[in-house]
Structure 1
Amino acid sequence: MIFDVNETLSDMAPMGQRFEDVGAPAHLARTWFAGLLRDGFALTAVGVNEAFATIAVDALSVVLDGQPLERSVEDAVQHIMEGFAGLPVHADVPEGIGSLQHLGIRLVTLSNGSASVAEALLDRAGIRDHFEMLLSVEDAGRWKPAADAYAYALERCDVDPADAMLVAVHPWDIDGAARAGLATAWINRTGGPYPGYFRTPDLQVGSLTELADELAR
């Protein structure tokens, strides 16, 4: 089972406070994150594999420009990035991951961010030892949802696509994995609709604990 990390495992709700700390509106946190994903996808589409952190920092400088900041842009960027590096996991993650491991399922992560960020996140949550490997697209050469990213994870795990499942909150990630031949599970914590233009996930659940319960059946 291959897990996305950012927003799927990590809870990004505290980022709004980080933006408010520096004098920017909290809603810019979502604008910033959506923008950095968009730009990472755009670079991947033209064959460029830029590091997540590099895009994140530059994208922050862009969205903070013109805001009534209470400190320099450089200090504001540093404060926000420190918050990103210290995010917690969602409340359902520790129990859900423990239950999935108890089922005998191999667990790995595949992030568009760095493996070190995933490692720190899981260490803080006390669940790092539940995961066999922490993988990053930095080593795959392409960001998800490019097929090469999923192929890299499958190769590292030595499994066929039909024997793997991608777990994510992002419909674009679900769609990419499905097109690469993986089974998919969409974690829909908000109860929102799934976009009809993406391939439908094999499973739709509200949490990782629900996912474990569904698979246990």
Structure 2
Amino acid sequence: MTVQKKSAGVWQIAPPHPATPPRRRNAPRLPPDERRTQLLDAALRVVGRDGLAQLTMQSVAKEAGVAKPVLYALYPTAPELVAALLRREHARGMAQVLGAMPTDLRRADPDAEFIGAAMGFLEAVYADPMRWRLILVHADGAPSDYREVLTAARDQLLARCIELLAVGIRVRGGPEDADIELIGTAMLGFIEVLGRMVLSNRQQFPPERLRSTVRALLRTIPRASDSTAPVASEDSA
């Protein structure tokens, strides 16, 4: 409240100025790469909660705590946002798989390396179910070209598995005359099924519970009768 003298003997009492409403805080400015990470992390949380088909620009902006123009500045349309999310999660998933695979079986126990790689994959699925659901489970709302990316990446992964299997079978001493392509395809499909079991119920099918099943798969691939089969030399691999 203020009191002002207007003239001799005349005073005016003015009501207090209305409080200025607090200005809405904008999201802090971030470098573009950090902002993309923030937005894609928010999109992944939305997908994990609601499904890919229910992802909207509004839901992602709300989840990220930013105004929609901030989101539109980097991803002008929902399909572009979805494509960026799928590409990122697929690349990260493939890096996890390849990182768990052995690089050289010529001086190793192939069976132990296989178990280690399989368990590494299952533990990655267990740790990042939202990511792996986008890779291992058909995702409604995914663009058709993403399915082509998945197919191409799986073909490359299968080729790597067959390459390692050829060396591993030679090192472990059998089986002779093995159809390596058939065995590799079956083994990869088997491990993918176990991954989907983890996704279906992480409490019921934790990776450690599946370890014995992974070992059982190896028992279907016989070794040579001579358990002391020599290890392949570097020149022969």
TM-score in terms of structure 2 length: 0.33
Greater helix content:
2
Q: Which has the higher contact order (CA 8 A, sep 6+)?
A: 1
Of the two, which has the highest radius of gyration? 2
Greater strand content:
1
TM-score in terms of structure 1 length: 0.36
